[in-house]
Structure 1
Amino acid sequence: MPEHPELVLVTDLDGTLLGGGSEERRGFYRWLAEQRERVLHVFCTGRDLGAIAQVLGDDEPLGLAAPHLVIGDVGCTVACGSSLLPIPLAVNPIEQRWQALEPRLRTLLEGRPGLELQPMSSNRRLAFYVDLDQFDLGLIPVLEAEGATVVMSDNRYFDVLPGGVNKGSTLLSLLEWLEADHATVVTAGDTLNDLAMFETGLKGVMVGNAEPALVEQLPRLSGVYHAQGHGCQGIAEGLRHFGFGHLMD
């Protein structure tokens, strides 16, 4: 891991780092590999560690390498990029919050119409598919009153997290631990579960294929650039916009 990175690049996966055409992705992944001592790369995703491992295996032929660090489970997990082993210093405080909360939340959510538990080994959160035609949105303030954070994205994902935990809060804690200069940090995402990253005040790239509900938030997000390019192409466009083009030339 670079001691003094010139850029800390924090990327969502699906639709962002994994978005765009094969050639664009191959070129961007090659650039990341070449700049590994100058660019500290962090995955920041809703996927759990098992699903992240699968992505790294599936996209290895395109040149995708493990990042330096991983934020997974929509902010509920922090892990080493190469081993995908959780980092206790970062994870334990989230785990402590979750243990007290989980039984009450499961009781409230059990058997609710419009929710289907996702088949993943998620930790420190409950992850569902949601059918908005059947789900009662009035349940959300009830969950929040119990101390949970609710994140919906792409009109089909419904995540229930410990209160105050999301991609943005966990990223800020990680940057503090790394003693990273915020001026060197750029985030990138495409769905509503990336909104918390964009609300941190850090530089952000909303890729061109972002979901409409996220794009609607753009006017209030200072420091977020809406790229024209999709996926990796949009990330590269955003990096040039923010003055990191010298790393790409």
Structure 2
Amino acid sequence: MESQLFSGYLLVTDMDGTLLGADKSISPDNLAAIERFTAQGGRFTLATGRIASSVRRYAEQLPLGAPAILCNGAMIYDFASGETVWERMLPVSDAEGIIQRMLSLYPQIGVEIYPKGWDVPFFRNENEVTQRHERMEKFRRRADSAPAEPWIKVLFAWEPARLDAITPHLQELTGSAEVEWIRSDDKYLELLAKDSTKGHALEALTRRLGMDPAKSIAMGDHLNDLEMIRRAGVGVAVANAHPELRAAAGHHAKHHEEHAVADVIEWLEQRIRSGM
């Protein structure tokens, strides 16, 4: 039926640098296309490095038809019910050892700890990048210290060139800990539990929804989207994406400032109609 053109399809998009413009808003073109996609049977959701409190104002604007992937894949959260439906917590003893090694070598690096159940991070070590992050997200600080456990992730923040210099030494910093390192932005390097990527979470989400993984379309722009792009039925890189992501993608979309999500929905519609 025409009204169910997108039935069986799951569209998952990154937020910053993909769905959102530089002003951190959802364009009317993107919103209209998403509403058309869901009205015609598609299921739409988000996959982001952000925590729930940072995503909620966007979730309220969008016709989410599935739980959202948060914290770069450490959590799947259902905004409709207000419940976490899947999660992978970071081993705190391992994370604490890595933080101590990181700070002993790079005392100026910013460290943000994200405890489970908190709607803001705990700022363990601050610099200009963490201060800009706090202002951008409008975090309201808590007075208490970070709990011993559990933690969702640790974010290390520094200028891009300094993080570039650290990257070759990550194995040395990690030691025997089984964790994931994710470069979520030029300024952010994140530590998560092993198998906590957007790609692992996408697989868990399609299983939960009982959907065909081949009909999942995932969009992104940075290296934290790489596993999701690889594991989706169709991985899409926006025009402003990291070169490694563009190389891995099966389809290339417009720049995030040119309504990239609307562009992908239009492409998918043409693909379905042509019987591909």
What TM-score range do you get, normalising by the shorter chain? 0.7 to 0.9
Q: Percent identity?
A: 21
Letter in 2 for 1:128: F
SS at match of 1:71: strand
How many residues were matched structurally? Answer: 230
Q: 1:71-110 alignment to 2 at 5 Å?
A: 71-87=69-85, 90-91=86-87, 94-95=88-89, 98-99=91-92, 101-110=94-103
- Are the aligned partners of 1:150 and 1:159 in contact in 2 as well (CA < 8 Å)? yes
**Do structure 1's residue 193 and structure 2's residue 221 form an aligned pair?**
no
Structure 1 distance, partners of 2:254, 2:84, is 35
C-alpha RMSD of matched pairs (Å): 3.2
SS at match of 1:14: coil
Alignment of 1:106-121 (within 5 A): 106-110=99-103, 112-118=106-112, 120-121=120-121
How far the C-alpha of 1:132 sits from its partner, in A, is: 4.0
Q: Which residue of 2 aligns with 1:128?
A: 156
Q: Deviations over 1:168-216 (max 9, x none)?
A: 1111122122221123210011111111111215202211222xxx224
Ranges of 4+ aligned residues in structure 1 off by more than 6 Å: 20-24
Distance 1:104 1:21, change over 3 A: closer
Q: Does 2:41 align with 1:10?
A: no
Contact 1:98 1:125 in 2 (8 A): no
Higher Cα Rg, which structure? 2
Letter in 2 for 1:124: I
8 A Cα contact 1:151 1:160, kept in partner:
yes
How far off is 1:32 after superposition?
2.4
TM-score (norm 1): 0.77
| Aligned match of 1:230 | 256
The 8 Å contact of residues 114 and 132 in structure 1, kept in 2 or not, is answered as no
1:163 Cα deviation after fit: 1.8
Deviation at 1:131, TM superposition (A): 2.4
**2:66 is aligned with what amino acid?**
H
Task: Provide the C-alpha distance between the structure 2 equivalents of 1:22 and 1:138, rounded to a whole number of angstroms.
Answer: 32
Alpha-carbon distance change, 246 to 216 in structure 1, aligned in 2, over 3 angstroms:
closer
Ranges in structure 2 where 5+ consecutive residues have no aligned partner: 114-119, 123-150
Equivalent residue letter for 1:71: I
The normalised TM-score by structure 2 is: 0.70
Q: CA deviation at 1:165?
A: 1.4
Tell me which residue corresponds to 2:138.
none
Q: Retained in 1: the 8 A contact 2:19–2:256?
A: no
**Cα drift, residue 28 of structure 1:** 2.5
Structure 1 unaligned runs (5+)? none
Counterpart for residue 186 of structure 2: 155
Task: After TM superposition, list the pairs within 5 Å mapping 1:18-33 onto structure 2.
Answer: 18-19=20-21, 25-33=27-35
Q: Which SS does the other structure have where 2:157 is aligned?
A: strand
- Are positions 1:177 and 2:205 aligned together? no
Distance 2:215 2:38 in 1: 15
Deviation at 1:231, TM superposition (A): 5.0
Inter-CA distance 42–143: structure 2 relative to 1 (3 Å threshold): farther
